[in-house]
Amino acid sequence: MSQLSLNLVAISIFLVTMSALLGPLVELSPVVPAIATASALGLAALDTLTWQGRGSTLMLDWLAGFSKEHRARIIRHEAGHFLVARQLDIPVTDYTLSAWEALRKGHPGQGGVQFDTQILDAELQQGKLSAQMLDRLCTIWMAGGAAEAMVYGNAQGGDDDRGKLRALLIQIRFSAADRQHKERLSVLRAKTLLETHWTTYEALVAAMERRETVEECDRIIASAVALPENL
């Protein structure tokens, strides 16, 4: 169940409790909290069972969208994924910067950078994953949070990225200690790539703020990398 759905359930329980305690004092009809409770629980159930939590994701995304810092963080986070993916020769096929954009384009979740996973899928179908591909994926997943931390001193996003990394490492039977080591090493590699190509990163951030196409972002990256200061 999504966070907002859980919040709706918590609100429902709170309403029932408060109506039981205060209703007689203020002469509140028990019908009012009953309707509110049923509505909240119904919305939570509908969102979870029918929309797979998409409704709560869209609502939270809409509320967070009023914060300029939040929007800026998202762009810098996704630009980190985008740049590191291209530096590691993983093609980017699309990107979205909000759940609403993702919905319009038919992408799942809250949005983000979409990668070409043909090589990964082929390796997984064969029951093996090369060490090189594993290193690339883990570094790309950690790049968003690394970029955020480098700009703001901390990362508010990245839980889904860490979840993907840990799920894959569990699937290929990494121990808990090895998973932690891999995650730390991937963050370090991502930071190193971002630091090395920081001018390129800033140019990409500006391009994504303008909602440039993937092709234009690739062109900007290629042009920026050619600058002497990035060599």
Of the listed ranges 3-7, 85-89, 114-118, 188-192, the least confidently predicted one is: 3-7
Quote the mean pLDDT of the chain. 79
Q: How confident is the model at residue 99 (pLDDT cuts 50, 70, 90)?
A: confident
CA distance 220 to 216: 6
Which pLDDT score is estimated for 121?
A: 81
Average pLDDT over residues 152-174: 91
For the ranges 11-20, 28-37, 79-88, 101-110, the one whose mean pLDDT is highest: 79-88
CATH class of 67-230: mainly alpha
CA distance 71 to 41: 30
Which tokens sit at 68? 């300029």
74-92: pLDDT as tens digits: 999 999 999 999 999 999 9
Which pLDDT score is estimated for 219?
A: 95
Which pLDDT score is estimated for 199?
A: 94
CA distance 221 to 156: 26
Angle of CA points 213, 119, 79, to nearest 5° = 35
When comparing pLDDT for 56 and 100, which is higher? 100
Task: Say yes or no to pLDDT of 21 above 60.
Answer: no
Q: How confident is the model at residue 98 (pLDDT cuts 50, 70, 90)?
A: confident
Average pLDDT over residues 34-45: 56
Question: Which secondary structure element, helix H or strand E, spans residue 114, and what is its range?
Answer: strand 112-115
Which pLDDT score is estimated for 49?
A: 47
Q: How confident is the model at residue 14 (pLDDT cuts 50, 70, 90)?
A: low
Contact 222, 174 (CB under 8 A): no
Average pLDDT over residues 142-148: 97
pTM, rounded to two decimals: 0.72
Closest CA relative to residue 18, chosen from 4, 5, 32, 8:
32
Question: Which residues are bridge partners to 56 per DSSP?
Answer: none
Q: How many other β-carbons are positioned within 10 Å of the β-carbon of residue 83? A: 30
Q: 178-210 burial string, b = 16+ CB within 10 Å, else e? A: ebeebbeebbebbbebbeebeebbebbbebbee
CA distance 72 to 197: 19
CA count, 13 A, side-chain hemisphere, 126:
9
**Burial (CB count <10 Å: 0-12, 13-18, 19+), residue 158:** buried
Question: Coil, strand, or helix at residue 112?
Answer: strand
Task: Say yes or no to pLDDT of 65 above 70.
Answer: no
CA distances from 37 to 11, 22, 29 (A): 8, 16, 13
CA distance 193 to 80: 10
- Domain range list for the chain: 3-63, 67-230
Q: How confident is the model at residue 197 (pLDDT cuts 50, 70, 90)?
A: very high
Average pLDDT over residues 60-74: 69
Q: How confident is the model at residue 100 (pLDDT cuts 50, 70, 90)?
A: confident
CA distance 1 to 52: 8
pLDDT > 90: what percent of the chain? 46
**What letter represents residue 194's amino acid?**
L
